[in-house]
Amino acid sequence: MTPKPLPFIVKPKPKLFDKEQRAKRNIAMTLVAALSGCDGTILLADTEEVVSSYSTRTVDKLAVWDCQAFRLGIAGASTDGTYADMLQSEILGALSRLPAFDMGSIKTTLSDTLTSFYAKHIWPRTGDRPQMEYLLVVQPHPRGRAEIIHISETAANIVAGESKTVGVGAYLADYILKQIFSAPVPVNRTESTSQLCAAGLYVAKEVRENIDGVGPVDRVAVFDSNGGYDELYPVDIAEIEENVSAIWEFHMYFFTDIFDAERDEMIMGDADGFIRDMKERHKEWYKKWNDRRAARERLRQYPNPNRRTAS
C-alpha cells in the first residue's frame, strides 16, 4: 500500500533586501565638489537629503567656520545624516584647538579624531554601518592658498590635483570635469574663480538632471588665494545655470554641422556670435558679483548657523 503523501507546506522566506535596495542603502545620495584654480578654491554641495530611501528634505550640507589659525569649509556625503552631523562637530572641535596652520598637525588631528569616532560609534554597530565622506577646504589666516582634504572613513588625504568630488554623482561629475579642464596638474592651475564657478555649477546641474538623489545647489563657498572669503548666493547660481544651459544645445548643433555629410547648410552659421554672447553674459554676472562684494560681507556679519567662529 502506497503511503499517503504528506501535505505540501511552503515555508516563508526570510525578509531580505534585494540587490538594488541594498545598493541604495549604501550610497551617499549627494554631490560635493571642491575645485581649485589659480585664483583660489571653491566648495559646493547639493541641498537634497534622502530619508529612508524614499523621501527627501532640503538641508544645507555646506558649513564654513573661522578657527583660530585658519578658515575651514566642510561638506559631506553620507548614508546617515545624524552620524554625519555628529562627526562634523567632532572634526570642528578638534581642528579649532590647533594654534597654527600646519598640514602635518591637521592630518594627525583628523586621523586621531576619525579613529576615535569610528571605534566608538561605527565599528561596534551590527548590520549596515553609515558610510561617510567629506571634503574639507582649509585656508590659513591671515592669507594663503587653501588646501583640499578628502576624508573617507578614517583616512584623511590632501588632494594633490585640481578637483575632487564625492557622493552618488561623483562619477558623472569627474567625467564632465575631465572634458572641461586640461590634464590634472598639481600646481600652477590656470582656471580663474569665474571659470571655477561656472564649471562647478555646470557639473552640478548636469548631475542633478541625470542622477537620482541629487538636489540643487544654493551656496558656493569661494576661498581666494589671498586669504579672502566670499560666496555665491541663489541669485548668482541661477544666473550662471541659465547661461551654461545652452552648452548642450551648442554641442548638438555643432556635432550636426560637422558630421552630417549629406547637407551643406550650417545650423550654427554664427558660432562665434553664440560664444561671444555667452561670454558677455558671464562677464556681466562676474562684474555684478564683484560690485556686490561689500553688501555680501555686511550680510555675513549677521548670525548664521553654517558660518561661525569656532571657540
Q: What DSSP line would sit under 16-55, residue for residue?
A: ---HHHHHHHTS---EEEEEE-SSEEEEEE--EEEETTTE
- Phi/psi at 158 (nearest 5 deg)? -75, 130
Task: Specify the residue for cell string 551654461.
Answer: 244
Instruction: Say which amino acid occupies 251.
Output: H
Of 116, 111, 191, whose CA–CA distance to 149 is shortest?
A: 111
CB 164 within 8 A of CB 197: no
Q: Does position 197 have pLDDT exceeding 80, yes or no?
A: yes
Of 137, 182, 181, whose CA–CA distance to 159 is shortest?
A: 137
Give dist(CA 147, CA 302) in Å, integer.
27
The pLDDT value recorded for residue 31 is 93
Q: Which of 173-181's residues contact partners 24+ apart within 8 Å by CB, and which partners?
A: 173/31, 173/33, 173/203, 173/204, 173/207, 176/202, 176/203, 176/206, 176/207, 177/35, 177/203
Q: How confident is the model at residue 21 (pLDDT cuts 50, 70, 90)?
A: very low
pLDDT in tens, 120-134: 999 998 888 889 999
| Residue 50: strand pairing partners | 56
Domains and CATH numbers, the chain: 26-309 (3.60.20.10)
pLDDT in tens, 279-289: 999 999 999 99
Give dist(CA 84, CA 131) in Å, integer.
9
Share of the chain above pLDDT 70, in %: 80
Residues 6 or more apart in contact with residue 300 via CB below 8 angstroms:
231, 307
Share of the chain above pLDDT 90, in %: 53
Mean pLDDT over 57-86 rounds to: 90
